[in-house]
Amino acid sequence: MNLPQNQFSRRSFLRGSGALVALPFLESLAQPLKAIAATGRQVEPVRMVCVGLEYSMHPADFFPSETGRNYTTPDLLKPLEGLRDDFTIFSHLDHPGIKGGHHATHTFLSGVRSELASGQPEGNISLDQKAAEFVGSNTRYPSIQLNSGGGSFGGGISWNRNGVALPPVSDLQSMFDALFLETPESQKSRLAESYKLNTSILDVVREDALSLKKHLGKNDLEKLDEYFTSVREVEKRLSMSEAWLNKAKPVVDYQLPNPLPTTFYDEVPLYYDLMKLALQTDSTRILTYNIVGWKGDSGFSGVTKGYHDLTHHGKDPEKLRQLGIIESFYSSQFARFLENLKNLQVSPDDSLLDKTMVLFGSGIGNASSHSNRDLPLLLAGGGFRHGEHKDYPKAGKKQTPLCNLYVSMLQRFGMEIDEFGTSRGTLEGLS
């Protein structure tokens, strides 16, 4: 496309970028690979699961009073009592400077507000997506995002480095089909043609954008570079999606109930079942599950008030009782998930839990007061030495950013990295 000096067709440029924005969300990549150790034995890969709670956990019933190994189990952690040696509880970790209540819960896995992403070296990329970049083409889906209960404040908890919230799967059947339902041959042909078409559109986009460079100032050039980064990411996903198109999906002895459940109480366990299967079949090694709440019937016996209303309990005993029913359910289902991972051997020496680090927490510390301090956090599995309640300095120069934990997790994941988000190193005392 030839452009006169200081003049260009914005419509022509947006023709390409509009096509790019309209592309489907593509996460299918290439053949699963597992590292081979020097001994010639296959090395089981590390996985990562992040469970985020939109409305947090009631702090008084979540955090133990004592530190170390001999803490008294608080009410909300009693469903996890049998797994005590498989997880660590953290007190006084959060993202320094973050505030905004519910509208800041989206910073849970990044430590950066979405509106400030452009001022950061890696935007507000979230922990799971940083790990997914490292996984690359080793699994069919580099990451899967799930959501229960509809929309959330701020756009979810998974963000790419361009400040875009990744759309979650919020339908059980869609999740099952993506993992295990083979694509019909007729649809494969259409997808193959679509990949070719989209690739040609990206070629036009690149040519149009390059021709603009000599007409742009410094600020616009920076924006254009960000745009090129987005184009390259889509190109990579397109090529890897095509590589997976004709590879068979795993076969499992599992079926969703028919009809599907209609209550939140019955849906959550099924999401955890599918998450376990996704990890077990190596369909993905990165999962995020954002639990917002419910639409329609909750299915909770003894809960008569709205979830959000209950979080603003004002220490009312009846509201706290009903809130406890909901949050104990979260703990019990999380415990069931961990037990299922622990009961699956993936090597002679390791369970699936040993090879999966599972983070459970929230981007808000106290939903009642809209505080983003002192986030409820629990890390299970992943080969770490667990069994303790660790308490860190609450404020001042010794305050420990939550992103220090994320650096430690990414290192355990296999990445050579010494910073992430607002980190100041790794998390002391975690090994």
Which pLDDT tens digit goes with each residue over 212-221?
A: 666 777 677 6
On the CB side of 143, CA atoms within 13 Å amount to: 28
**Sheet of 389-391, strand order:** 144-148, 286-291, 47-53, 356-361, 377-381, 87-91, 389-391
More confident residue, 399 or 279: 279
Position 110 pLDDT exceeds 50:
yes
Output the pLDDT for position 153: 62
Mean confidence (pLDDT) of the chain = 84
Position 238 pLDDT exceeds 60:
no
Q: Residue 296's pLDDT band (boundaries 50, 70, 90)?
A: confident
> Hey, what amino acid is at 3?
L
Fold topology of 33-182+252-413: Alkaline Phosphatase, subunit A (3.40.720)
Output the pLDDT for position 13: 37
| Most confidently predicted of 131-140, 181-190, 205-214 | 131-140
Output the pLDDT for position 74: 98
* Cα 167 to Cα 149: distance, rounded to the nearest angstrom: 14
CB of 408 closer than 8 Å to CB of 401: no
| Most confidently predicted of 49-63, 107-121, 194-208, 387-401 | 49-63
Position 364 pLDDT exceeds 70:
yes
Distant-in-sequence contacts of 190-195, Cβ < 8 A, 24+ apart: 191/241, 191/245, 192/242, 192/245, 195/238, 195/239, 195/241, 195/242, 195/245
Q: What is the mean pLDDT of residues 150-174?
A: 84
CB of 425 closer than 8 Å to CB of 126: no
Q: What is the mean pLDDT of residues 144-156?
A: 78
- Single out the residue of 326, 382, 318, 391 nearest to residue 350, CA to CA: 382
User: What is the C-alpha end-to-end distance of the chain, expressed in Å?
Assistant: 57
Output the pLDDT for position 119: 80
Which pLDDT tens digit goes with each residue over 47-97?
A: 999 999 999 999 999 999 999 999 999 999 999 999 999 999 999 999 999
Q: Residue 329's pLDDT band (boundaries 50, 70, 90)?
A: very high
More confident residue, 371 or 239: 371
Which pLDDT tens digit goes with each residue over 253-289?
A: 999 999 999 999 999 999 999 999 999 999 999 999 9
